[in-house]
Structure 1
Amino acid sequence: MPTQDDRRAELGAYLRRRREDLIRSDFGLPPAGRARTLGLRREEVSYLSGVSVTWYTWLEQGRDINPSRQVLDAVSRTLRLGVAQHRYVLALAGYAPMPAAAADEVAAVPAHVQRLLDAIGDNPAYALTAEWGIAGWNAAYERLYPNVATTASADRNLLWLVFTDPFVRGLLADWEDTSQRFLAEFRAEVGSRLGDPSLLELVARLVDASPEFQAGWERHDIGGFESRERVFHHPSGSTVTYEHHQLRPSDQPELQVVVYTPM
């Protein structure tokens, strides 16, 4: 099992390799040495990151130091790391994954995720952001819940709709149980980010709008997601039973895709 020293060594080696692979002209820098066009100097990375040369050198050397998350974020931006690479750097330094994108940062799902939703066909499916904003859905889900297409984007949040939309309350055959299970799952997912302004605003709105939400929030219930049976009073007048599934695209881990399949 890798030790802390192993992780520091890997972090240093990784940062050094990324630094050496950068194209100098991308940063407006002239060739270095013998017309060398690849690779930034440590001094250049430290300057662009706002980090001392000594501190950055120690990072690459795998020294026994504790860089702050802000330092690692700054260095990652300078080295132009992608999302997966940035997460790797944070993990090596012992930090939790990057906070997922806030709901207002995801106006719509990426095109390939929307194509996945559409391909699911007659099974209702939708995609949620980290704060449970409904960012995409397929035609089958819109038939189940027609209001999704007409609700203002600021209110198109699953938790908000479950606790404030009378249509949803009537749609869910087991509203009391489902609403509280959703609340427990939501709290478990966002617990480490409850200080985020957008989350505080959402919770405050729900506390003001729903006594049931307020009571559940004050109980501090926590629950993980489990696939389960869901019963809906369909707008057509029939009662339909689905199995509830949740998936996360590997390249969009801030999203969760929810799919209802027939029992």
Structure 2
Amino acid sequence: MNGVALDNEVSRQELAHFLRTRRESLSPADVDLPNGPRRRTPGLRREEVAALAGLSLTWYTLLEQGRNVSPSFKVLDSLAGALNLAEHEREYIHQLVHSRTFPQRLERRHAPTETALQQVADSLSPNPAYVVNKLGDILGWNEAAAEWYTDFGRMPEARRNLLWWLFTAPEARVRLADWRRDARDQVGRLRAVSAGFPGRSSVSEMVEDLKQVSCDFRTLWGEYRVLNTEPQFRRLRHPRRGTVPMRLVILADGMHPSLEVVYHLPQLSGH
């Protein structure tokens, strides 16, 4: 069962919470087990997950308790199968355990690249476009983005972040017609990204700050939902133009994969 040591406390606790959340979300019927007598706790029992994954109860319990054990690739795949994890969730637990970090840097500013991508965003007017990194920091935007979202230039640079705006600005709930769905998806993406930066203060500090100021964020973060796909559609409300569905086109920079331009293409009725 041994593999690479899971020696990062943050990663150990993230894995423990994720496994427990997924176990509690499953019913016996989900994994072809009989319901049996009435259960006092939701979801599967630890011993059921351990048996399905071919592990001892003691060893699986250590994982759920966040102990410093070393699950191998094979063990993680067995757990993924036992818990009915989707492929991106399977990748998430491998990333947590084996610390496969993203190749890009996590600096909040990357001036030369931002300048070039700002020019790209400007060229996409009159449609909204903004430059963003994996953590949701807004690094550039055109006038249309400011008109449809908010004037990002008025936000303190340290808080110029899509998630921060989503959860702390009342106007976000007005401008985003599907605020709850968009917020939940953004939190799921942040969790997927955070696994690639184990122990990085820039990630953990942002999460803790958001948990302090937003009970909605705390609730969604506690769901342990993982989402690794980019958003494809977003419905935006404009004070004069009304609600317009937008297709989101992601333009990536091959030299700096942590940065991307999010271009909004209005969807005409009937298309």
Q: TM-score range by the shorter chain?
A: 0.5 to 0.7
1:154 equivalent to 2:154? Answer no
**Partner deviation per Cα, 1:16-51 (whole Å, 9 max, x = no partner):** xxxxxxxxxxxxxxxxxxxxxxxxxxxxxxxxxxxx
Of 236, 240, 245, which residue of structure 2 is paired with 1:241?
A: 245
Which protein has greater RCO, CA pairs closer than 8 Å, 6+ apart? 2
1:173 equivalent to 2:177? Answer yes
Q: What is the CA-CA distance between 1:96 and the residue it aligns to?
A: 4.3
Partner Cα separation in structure 2 for residue 194 and residue 123 of structure 1: 36
Partner Cα separation in structure 2 for residue 209 and residue 95 of structure 1: 29
Of 162, 168, 172, which residue of structure 2 is paired with 1:164?
A: 168
RMSD: 2.2
Who is 2:186 aligned against? 182
Of 191, 199, 211, which residue of structure 1 is paired with 2:203?
A: 199
1:128 equivalent to 2:141? Answer no
Who is 1:209 aligned against? 213
Unaligned runs of 5+ in 2: 1-97
Who is 2:145 aligned against? 141
Contact 1:103 1:133 in 2 (8 A): no
**Partner deviation per Cα, 1:116-146 (whole Å, 9 max, x = no partner):** 1111121111111232110011111011123
Who is 2:30 aligned against? none
1:232 corresponds to which letter in structure 2?
L
Contact 2:236 2:243 in 1 (8 A): yes
**Partner deviation per Cα, 1:182-212 (whole Å, 9 max, x = no partner):** 1101211222214101111100000011111
Q: What is the CA-CA distance between 1:217 and the residue it aligns to?
A: 0.8
Aligned to 1:110, the other structure's residue is in SS state: helix
Partner Cα separation in structure 2 for residue 170 and residue 108 of structure 1: 34
Partner Cα separation in structure 1 for residue 145 and residue 227 of structure 2: 25
Contact 2:101 2:196 in 1 (8 A): no
1:259 corresponds to which letter in structure 2?
Y
Give the TM-score taking structure 2 as reference length. Answer: 0.58
**Partner deviation per Cα, 1:228-260 (whole Å, 9 max, x = no partner):** 331111133522211122231112212022111
Contact 2:99 2:196 in 1 (8 A): no
Give the TM-score taking structure 1 as reference length. Answer: 0.59
Q: What is the CA-CA distance between 1:220 and the residue it aligns to?
A: 0.6
Q: What is the CA-CA distance between 1:110 and the residue it aligns to?
A: 2.7
Question: Residues 149 and 108 from structure 1, CA distance in 2 versus in 1: closer, same or farther, beyond 3 angstroms?
Answer: farther
2:238 corresponds to which letter in structure 1?
H
Aligned to 1:230, the other structure's residue is in SS state: strand
- What is the number of equivalent residue pairs in this alignment? 170
Larger Rg: 1
Equivalent residues in 2 for 1:60-75, closer than 5 Å: none
Of 219, 222, 228, which residue of structure 2 is paired with 1:224?
A: 228
Unaligned runs of 5+ in 1: 1-93
Partner Cα separation in structure 1 for residue 101 and residue 239 of structure 2: 40
Who is 2:34 aligned against? none
